[in-house]
């Protein structure tokens, strides 16, 4: 099983600041990495797939990069609605696995 590790667990930033979230795989997943945003009480939302492709309707302030075992989700300028939890997921091999999540909170 591929273990996905996200860091930091919590990120404290101010609106307008840049957020950098990391996701590391225990073995290579090539570019088969997705990012999701999850607001409490709501359905998770796909942000990025294939490590760097924004999903339909996702604002340009969200970007993804990386390949192999190291991945990054960047939010260029945090908006109020961005202060929620983010998960990475490898879709390279079974079983499919998620990272533990990064909570972005207001500083």
Partner 1 sequence: EVQLLESGGGLVQPGGSLRLSCATSGFTFSVHAMTWVRQAPGKGLEWVSTISQSGSSTFFADSVKGRFTISRDNSKDTLYLQMNNLRAEDTAVYYCAKVNSGWWFFESWGQGTLVTVSS
Among 21, 25, 32, 64, binds partner 1 (CB under 8 A): 32
Q: Which residues lie closer than 8 Å to 70 by C-beta, 6 or more apart?
A: 22, 23, 24, 25
Q: Is 99 in the site for partner 1 (CB under 8 A)?
A: yes
* Footprint on residues 34-53 left by partner 1 (CB under 8 A): 34, 36, 38, 42-46, 49-50
Q: Is 54 in the site for partner 1 (CB under 8 A)?
A: no
Q: Which stretch binds partner 1 (CB under 8 A): 18-26, 61-69, 76-84, 93-101?
A: 93-101
Q: Could you give the angle at the alpha carbon of 5 between the alpha carbons of 97 and 77, nearest 5°?
A: 105
CB nearer to partner 1: give 5 or 77: 5
Query: For residues 5 and 83, what is the distance between their CA atoms, to the nearest angstrom?
Result: 20
Strands 45-49 and 97-98: unpaired
CB nearer to partner 1: give 14 or 50: 50
């Amino acid at each position: 099983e591929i273990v996905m590790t996200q860091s930091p667990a919590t990120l404290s930033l101010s609106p307008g600041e840049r957020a950098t979230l990391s996701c590391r795989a225990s073995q290579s997943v090539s570019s088969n990495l997705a990012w999701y945003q999850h607001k409490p009480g709501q359905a998770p939302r796909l942000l990025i797939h294939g490590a760097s492709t924004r999903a339909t309707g996702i604002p340009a302030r969200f970007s993804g990069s990386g390949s192999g075992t190291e991945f990054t989700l960047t939010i260029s300028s945090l908006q109020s609605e961005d202060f929620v939890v983010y998960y990475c997921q490898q879709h390279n091999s079974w079983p499919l696995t998620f990272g533990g999540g990064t909570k972005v909170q207001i500083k």
